[in-house]
Amino acid sequence: MLSSLVSFLLHSHHIITSNEKSVFETYYMFQDYNKVNDKVPPKDLENYLELLFQIKQISQTVIWFKPNSLNELYDELSVTNTDIQEDKTRLVRMKLDNYKFDIINVLELNILDQILHPSSNINKIDMSLNDCPTTKTSLNDFDSIMEFLEKPVSKKFRILNSTPSPAPATMNEILSLDYEIITTNLLEFETAGNQLNKEIIPKITPKRPFLETCTDESHAVQMARISKFECERDSYNKMKTVNKSYNRKDKHFQNDYLNITHNIDQKMYNKFPHDMRSCFEKKIHFIPYYKTSRKTANNNNNKAPFTNAYAGVNTDMSIGDCSYLDTCFKWDDCKYVHYYTCYPTSELDKQLVECQEFNKGIMKNNKIRTFYWHEPSGYNIRNELPAQWVKCDIYNINMSIFGKFGAIIVDPAWSIHMELQFQQIEDHKIISTPVQPLQDEGIIILWVTGRSYEVGKKCLETWGYEYVQELVWTKTNQLNRTICTGRTGHWLNHSKEHAIIGMKGRPQWLNRKIDVDLIVASAREASRKPDELYGIVERVVGPHCRKMELFGRQHNTRSGWFTIGDQIQDVNIYEEEVKRKYQKWLGRR
Amino acid sequence: MYSTHNRPLSVHQNQEYNPRRYSNNNFNKNNSHNNGSVNSRSRRKDEYDPSKSYPSYDYSLPLIQQQHYFRSLRGQPNDFSNQYIHNGQFPTDHIPNIESSVEGYPKLKKLLDLKEKKNSEHFTQPLGCRVAPEKMVQVLIQWIYKHNLVFDTIMIGSLTENQQVLPILNQIPLEKLAIRPGFLYIWGSSHKLNELTNSIQGSGSMHNSWSKHFRRSEELVFTKNVESDGSYKVEDDDSSILTRKQWHCSMCITGTVKRDADGHLVHCNINPDLKVEDDDEESNPSSVPDSMYKVAENFASGNRRLHIIPSRTGLNTPVKLRRGWVIMSPDVLLDNFDPEQYKKDITRLGHNVSQDAEIEMLRPKSPDWKGKH
Ligand SMILES: [Zn+2]
Ligand SMILES: [Zn+2]
């Protein structure tokens, strides 16, 4: 009888809600409906009411009444203590006359109808799929629809039976299905596309080795006790000469030039407890070292941790870490503590093999994308483009020769009114960058500095982009810590940088919400941005999409990317069409 | 049929394309450091050459070359964004100094402790002012014109989505409520950032009086290492390209203040402009985390601090009272604020946190203070 009520409501919901029929009126409509369709009508009004209440019990949101909810009415009626049947019926009638149908949720009713009439469901599919064998599809299809509708709200939902089963006949059976139909929170709704993306992207993103950092401080201290560091005098002098030619602000990694060798007293190391040794083989450790000046070392019978001691100053352990750590440019005169990164190469090699195993599967997983809603066919037979770059003056080249790109990174040298080794560009010139021809639709990422924040937004507007959101890069130091000492900030210490993301057109093919809007990565040479961004962009637009970087330098060249700028060397174009156009442009000049 | 779309695609016209030939070797050919240069003369072919660049991780290369790539990363082999994709651990989860950002810097730690102690000596008792959001403008205007109240630090908004910050900003003569120099902190999720920026700039439809007097000086970012359903959650919408995790707090300044000469008014470079909070930190979060109040307290020495929360903040992030602050909110527990009494209290406590010789010695004076060593 419940099923006939559902069919009735589906059949005449339009009349009911548009005329604000009362519960009482619909009772008679329902009676008529049953007569016409040869179905058993409800015994009496109370019986009808109970049916409505049952529907409400399955889902609170199927029918809405005004002025009150049906539950209240039901409660009200059940506490009325009249034994005289006539009185009770009259009372019910009176109340029901004032109860009007407000909203009928047709979508939910349909779902309910399909649960109650699995056979009618089969019929529908029969019609739509013509010759397909349908007997085993019905509930599977229905399951997936239901799951799709249900997922965002509650994870409780499951209809486990994969084979068609008879329709749930009783109330208990329906309730035992244990599901709540979509109720609220459409804001949180995650589209099926997103869910699919979240599933597929990890399968086609190359895995990289990941080395954990040891959190047990005593390990590093123990290691420091048995360590001797050596520093080639030559490389130290080399660093000095190299550093002289650089501006103070340009911090190069001293370890590269300093070439510190780490020697361990193997005998002592073997005495370490087993778990400590295995920790050294698995995790990254930062070994504090203290420098001893040559003078002090001679006095102490050369027991300095540096075998060839320095003319510089002693390390003072009590004053804490150096702000610059491995980027310290006055290493010999710095009293603060520096660290040697001791990282487990064997563990890295082991993980590389594991990763390679995983990465072999990427080609296979990529084939899934051929059947994917927004991917081009033949996805998996294409190769990623090699790195391409052109040294050019962005303001003097015809940008249209490069073709169209799905993603653009712009990292201009915003002028910060300070002397830097590289040239800076004035704001108005950056705004006038001819970005327009490079993109029809897609995304742009523009690195800004604190001062150029507002100008950056103006740039996006001028170039034809809509501001979407911001990406924050948390800069870390050698020890992975956020930078908290006074370095750059005017009022507060700056420990992050911002990039603003803009969008052009309405690209439907973006893989959204795969990554978070935060990058944590170490700071490198001045103004060099983290490589993590490339991975993020590649996931958003797909690895085969053409991607461009403006104002790039040599270290920004990367396969899949086209880098242009005047800080780059030479020209390396792989795509024939671009090559032709570029040569034509050169000739015309 | 597959849907067609105009995603710009790679144009492969050369049929004999071999990615390996082009990706790395070609790069090195153009790199002046290669064959014949002093560095590589004595090196074997497979040996690691620090002068070479390894621009990206290419898993199709032989293992030995992959090892070289990771060596070229100089002890920073990890890519936290990649790690997030594969195991869901947030990039910010790998930061070791979340709990104590000054780890390893005893001087800074001492400075922070001293500052906290000194600030607390001048704190007023916790003050609450319970006002419905729609009445706030009216009450604040009364404070301005009837009681002549002024504040040194004003914070508006909290870490909740349904805020009505803009109406407050646009309807109240903030330049009259704030003393000059004065400091303003405005909260917004990354959604509201754009309209907030427009408001701060006074551009577009956002013509208002306050933006002419205040200038944006810093942008604080707060994020919490927690899965989406916890407190301080930023709601995502269809426009997001990346999952939103940031709360922003724009710091604006009115009036003239010089970072080197006005040490009695502001102490610069005490706190960083970013705060990452761990999941287990602060088991009962409040509408604004304590750490963010501290940033404001450590920066400006003014004792009159007002926090306006123009919305209900919900059970997950209730309004917490804080010593030294007047908190105006529809949900604040205490309703003990009396403008006239407050003026008396402030006169007694002093308008500014008093100077302290030790703090003066320890605090950073110029952006490059450590560079002098
Ligand atoms: Zn360890
Ligand atoms: Zn140093």
Residue closest to A135 by CA, chosen among A163, A167, A168? A163
Whether this model's ipTM surpasses 0.90 comes out as: no
Residue A246 has pLDDT above 50, yes or no: no
Tell me which ligand sits closest to the C-alpha of residue A287.
1
Q: How confident is the model at residue A466 (pLDDT cuts 50, 70, 90)?
A: very high
Which of A335, A345, A489 is facing B367, going by the closest CB pair?
Answer: A489
d(CA A512, CA A560): 20
pLDDT of A164: 44
Least confident residue range of A21-35, A463-477, B135-149: A21-35
Residue closest to A386 by CA, chosen among B24, B296, B316? B24
Residue A369 has pLDDT above 80, yes or no: no
Under an 8 A CB cutoff, do B96 and A375 touch? Answer: no
Residues B327, B168, B293, B247, Cα dihedral to 10°: 130
Residue B373 has pLDDT above 60, yes or no: no
pLDDT of A225: 85
Residue A208 has pLDDT above 50, yes or no: yes
pLDDT tens digits, one per residue of B6-45: 444 444 433 333 333 333 333 333 333 333 333 334 445 5
Type and span of the H or E element at B119: helix B106-121
pLDDT of A565: 93
- Other beta carbons within 10 angstroms of residue A128's beta carbon come to 9
> What's the angle, vertex CA A80, arms to CA A20 and CA A69, rounded to 5?
30
pLDDT of A174: 55
Residues 363-402 of A with CB under 8 A from B: 373-377, 382-387
Residue A464 has pLDDT above 90, yes or no: yes
Which of A469, A479, A498 to probe the B interface (max B CBs under 10 A)?
A469
Which tops the pLDDT comparison, A417 or B296?
Answer: B296
pLDDT of A84: 64
pLDDT of B196: 78
Under an 8 A CB cutoff, do B97 and A482 touch? Answer: yes
pLDDT of A342: 86
Chain B residue nearest residue A496, CA to CA: B274
pLDDT of B315: 76
Which tops the pLDDT comparison, B54 or A305?
Answer: B54
pLDDT of B99: 81
Which tops the pLDDT comparison, B251 or A126?
Answer: B251
* B51 interface with A at CB cutoff 8 Å: no
H helices, E strands: number in chain B? 12, 8
Q: Provide the greatest CA pair distance for chain B.
A: 85
- Average pLDDT of chain A, as a whole number: 78
φ/ψ bin of A527: left (φ > 0), alpha (ψ from -120 to 50), beta (otherwise): left
Q: How confident is the model at residue A188 (pLDDT cuts 50, 70, 90)?
A: low
What would the DSSP string read from start to end of B178-244? EEEEEEEEEEEETTTHHHHHHHHHT-TT---SGGGTEEEEEEEEEEE---TTSTTPPPP-TT-SSB-
Q: In what order do the strands lie in the sheet with B326-329?
A: B127-130, B326-329, B305-308, B151-156, B178-189, B247-254, B214-224, B274-277
Under an 8 A CB cutoff, do B366 and A208 touch? Answer: no
d(CA B178, CA B184): 8
Q: How far is A102 from chain B (nearest CA, A)?
A: 28
Q: How confident is the model at residue B203 (pLDDT cuts 50, 70, 90)?
A: low
Instruction: Map tokens 């390996």 to a residue.
Output: B20
pLDDT tens digits, one per residue of B179-188: 999 999 999 8
Whole-prediction pTM value? 0.75
pLDDT of A374: 64
pLDDT of A183: 40
Residue A238 has pLDDT above 60, yes or no: no
Helix axes A106-116, A118-129, angle to 10 degrees: 100
Contact list in A for residue B94 (CB cut-off 8 A) is 213, 480, 520
Least confident residue range of A196-200, A327-331, A490-494, B351-355: A327-331
Cross-strand pairs, A284:
A213
Average pLDDT over residues A148-155: 45
d(CA B152, CA B353): 12
Determine phi and psi for A577, rounding to 5 degrees.
Answer: -65, -45
Average pLDDT over residues B352-361: 91
The listed range with the strongest mean pLDDT (A468-472, B103-107, B238-242, B274-278) is A468-472
Determine phi and psi for A235, rounding to 5 degrees.
Answer: -70, -30
The listed range with the strongest mean pLDDT (A74-88, A266-280, B159-173, B230-244) is A266-280
Average pLDDT over residues B158-174: 84
Residues 278-297 of A with CB under 8 A from B: 284
Q: How confident is the model at residue A41 (pLDDT cuts 50, 70, 90)?
A: confident
Q: How confident is the model at residue B274 (pLDDT cuts 50, 70, 90)?
A: very high
Q: How confident is the model at residue B206 (pLDDT cuts 50, 70, 90)?
A: low
Contact B247, B159 (CB under 8 A): yes
B113 token code pair: 């402790």
Contact list in A for residue B251 (CB cut-off 8 A) is 491-492
pLDDT of A304: 54
Average pLDDT over residues A398-404: 94
pLDDT of A578: 94
